[in-house]
Every structure is written in structure tokens, then in C-alpha cells.
Amino acid sequence: MRRERDALGVKAVPTRALYGAFTQRALETFDLSGRPPHPALVRAYARIKKAAARANARLGVLPPTWARAIAWAADRVAAGRAPDAAVLDGLQAGAGTPTHMNVNEVIANLANERLGGRRGRYQPIHPNNHVNLGQSSNDVTPTAIRLMALELLGPLREESARLEGAFRGLAARERDVVKPGRTHLQDAVPITYGQVFTGYAQSLNEATRSLVATARELRVIGLGGTAVGTGITAHPRFRAMVARELSREVGQRLMPARSAVTTTWSLRPLLACSAALRGLAVDLAKICFDLRLLASGPHTGLGELKLPEVEPGSSIMPGKVNPSVPEAVEMACFQACGHDHAIALAAARGELELN
């Protein structure tokens, strides 16, 4: 073990650990979910650190050699080559401070080793004074969450488009197959399966477009606003400079917020993204429920559709097959709706100058 000193005193840290005293204290305090932070969030933190180091070097407040070492270390973290940067439980203290400091400490130790230093000495590069220069958990974490959302929207849009395409293919194949239309679970008027599947496809298209539309506001960042959005301790030109550097790093055009106080105080863009995701989940869950109902039976239900058989459906009734895939998708959709509610509650509980 090695011994590190912080504001609370001396703390023993495993000798080979890339993290430091702050992370060690958090490891001993938070063990609630058994799940680490999402890898995309850790990548986002690392990319912010790289962009911040470059911006601070350009502004003359960080030596270029130190900035290059920090950037090199941040690249290793972003590439998943420093597992010690994601050792904490996902449920932790507010503002994401423990994971943010976990990343700061790992980057500082890697950078110092790059420069010939030793782990835990934080010479010449300190996790707070240099890796976190001009930043705070209060502006870094909201920015990291935005970057994570932007990264994950891409694959989601692709998968939604694939599902939409599959329904459009079914609509073309079954365009002339007439079925009873039903409202209130009672027979209504005829409709074709081509029209039904086209409706499914279009609902996915519109819900996904609504979700993607939220990306515009996610690209507005308050990085450099530091503790309460006023930019205290940061260089006056840091906000504009770091937005340019981070845009280059993530391959998207990011814009500094008109008011970093607002981005620190309000999480409305993230709420909009979550609400749009909930809308997609609700439409998808309804599609799954309709498919299950239309495939019910086979002898005493509607029995209009036959879903693919992926597993036996019962431990007691031989030959029974359940609609397993729609059931699993519904569970995922309900979880997404639950996450949205949790996000709304958390955003409403951000007190005073910080959310």
C-alpha cells in the first residue's frame, strides 16, 4: 500500500492503483448497485480532459509538455486501456464528483509516469490543479452526460431504422391481407396488414426523429462555467477555446452556452432527450403488446399472427410457446420509462445554483 494525503488526512491506497485517495474513499463508501458508470460516460470525461488540457496550453496557463502528457493519458482512458478509471459504483455522491475525480486521478498518475514521475506523488501534474484546471464537477459532469447521450443516439437511430425497414418490408408483403380492425377490443372496420405494419413503421420513424431532434440542444455546453456557471478560476477565453477543442475531439460541433449559469442550473435539454426516448419506448411497447395479442392462441385466441419460436414457453405444458421477444422488449421499454421518471425527479431536486 502507498499513503496519500488529502483534505481529510492520510489514506492508504493500493500501490499499483492508478487512482488516488479520493477514489479510495469513494470505494469504501459507495457499494450500492454493483454496476460501474457507463463506459461512454468515462470516455466522455476523458475526452473533456484532453480538450481542456489543449485549451489551457493554448491559453498559456498549462505547460505544453504537461498538456501533451495529459492528452496521452486521456486517450488511454477513453480507449478503455485504464480500467482503474471506472472502479466506482454508479450510485454515488451528487454531481458525479467521485467518478470525475477517479478519472482525474488516473489521468494525473498516467501523465506523471509518462514524464518520469511516480504514482501517488502527483508531481508535476496534480489531478485538481492541472487535469481539472478551469473546470469543476459542476460543469464537467453535465457536459460528459451530453456527450454520452450524443454518442449513444447514433446506434439507437440505426437500430430503430432497421426495425422500421423490417416493418415496411412486412407492409409491402402483406399489403393485400385484410383483417378485422378493432377498437376497444371489439370488431370495428376492415384494415389491411399492410396498413397496420406501415403504421408501426411510421410511428417508429416519427418517434426517432423527435429523439434525434433533441441532439441540437445537447451540443450546447457549459464547460468552463466551473462551480456555479460564472467561470470563476477559469481563463476568460477558456469556454470558447475548450468548446472548439472538444468539438474537434468528438467530431461534432459543440457550442458554448450563452449562459453557463443556465446550463449549470437546468438540465432541460437532457430532460427533453429522456422524454423523447420515453416516447419511442411507449410506441415500441404498444407495438409489442399488439403483436402479442394478435398472436394469442393458437386455438382460443386471435391467432392472426405466428411469431418466431425462440424457446419453449413452459416448464409444465409441453408444446406451449410464448411470445418471448415482444415480452423482453416490453420489459426494456418499461425500464426506459422508469429511468425517465427518475431523471425528471432528480432534475427537479437540483437545489439553487446546481442541478
What is the number of residues in the chain?
A: 355
- Reported as type and span, the H/E element at residue 221 is strand 220-221
Determine phi and psi for 8, rounding to 5 degrees.
-95, -5
Q: Which residues are catalytic?
A: 184, 314
Helix (H, G, I), strand (E, B) or coil at 277: helix
Distance CA 14, CA 30 (A): 18
Helix (H, G, I), strand (E, B) or coil at 282: helix
Q: Where are the beta strands (DSSP E) in 72-194?
A: 178-183, 186-192
Region of 68 please: left (phi>0), alpha (psi -120 to 50) or beta: alpha
Distance CA 220, CA 78 (A): 22
**Nearest-5° Cα angle at 200, 196 to 204:** 165
The residues with which 182 forms a beta bridge, in sequence order, are 187
CA distances 111 to 63, 82, 262, Å, are: 13, 12, 33
User: Are the C-beta atoms of 212 and 205 separated by less than 8 Å?
Assistant: no
CA distances 162 to 166, 172, 274, Å, are: 6, 15, 21
Nearest to 267 by CA among 214, 196, 334: 214
Determine phi and psi for 56, rounding to 5 degrees.
-65, -35
Distance CA 296, CA 155 (A): 32
- Reported as type and span, the H/E element at residue 220 is strand 220-221
